[in-house]
Amino acid sequence: MLADCLHDLAALGPGGLPALLGALFLAGLAGGATHCSTMCAPFVLAQAATGVGAGGGRLRRLAGAALLPYQAGRMLGYGTLGAVAGGAAGLVTLASGLRWTLAALLLLAALLMLAQASKRLGGWVPRLGLASPRLPRAIEHRVGALLADPTGWRGVLLGVLLSALPCGLLYAALAAAAAGGSALAGGLGMMAFVLGTVPALAGVALLGRFFARRQGRWTRVAGGALFALNGMVLLAMAARLVA
């Protein structure tokens, strides 16, 4: 069993998976501060406004205020998406016998990361109609009910449902996670991405709109630099696969 798991994590070659996880974590950090803290702020602030975490011991209050059930739900939702994407890519690669599929996914992810960098550094990036994410209508009503009391498993379910939000940054991360070449690697990749976004969303939950408003030019520049670095790392990984 362990041997099978290790084999599943080796599609990108020696050191490939740690590099991918590191790149996705940094992408989450950059995107969390420059994108998620504003785009997801309404959902986070709505939960904070309910007073979640106001009762119980100190650790319970802190966990509630940081919306840990919601964060756990996001990790579960995005991890599942990554597992599906990685598993599908792995099947295509296995059937074709070619690693070009994984290299193409890395190239796509690199281009999407570089587009994120360009947007933050003042470059021109074509709009793809994803600037105003919206949930499918069937999910909106359920989300509204959960926001009224986002505690325990309700908070986890809320995080899972909000994983359905369309987002350009999410698509970039999914393309990179899929390049892991297996369901296990893809799931781990998206979990690393979510971990990177947690500090910014926790900041919004704990400090309210003050956190999002403190974003200045330096934040965008730092985020753009991290996205550019991610793009170059993913390009190098793609080149290594086909070399």
* pTM, full prediction: 0.82
Check residues 242 and 4 and name the one with the higher pLDDT: 242
pLDDT at 59: 59
Q: Is 199 within 8 Å of 32 (Cβ atoms)?
A: yes
If one compares 10 and 133, the residue with the highest pLDDT of the two is 10
Q: What is the per-residue pLDDT for 197?
A: 93
CB 198 within 8 A of CB 17: no
Q: Which residue has the higher pLDDT, 131 or 50?
A: 50
Alpha carbon distance 171, 191 (integer Å): 14
Q: What is the pLDDT of residue 177?
A: 92
> Bigger pLDDT: 37 or 62?
37
Per-residue pLDDT for 196 more than 90? Answer: yes
- Predicted local distance difference test score (pLDDT) of residue 45: 80
Residue 127: the pLDDT is: 44
pLDDT given for residue 98 in this prediction: 62
Positions of E strands within 56-204: none
pLDDT of residue 175: 93
% the chain with pLDDT above 90: 21
H or E segment to which residue 33 belongs: none
DSSP state of 57: S
What is the average per-residue pLDDT within 16-37? 87
Phi, psi of 17 (to 5 degrees): -65, -45
Range 202-209 average pLDDT: 74
pLDDT tens string 54-109: 555 565 556 666 788 899 999 999 999 999 999 998 888 877 666 788 888 889 99
Position 155 confidence tier, pLDDT thresholds 50, 70, 90 = confident
Pair 192, 25: CB distance under 8 Å: yes
Q: What is the pLDDT of residue 130?
A: 39
Average pLDDT score, the chain: 78
Do 156 and 72 contact (CB within 8 A), yes or no? yes
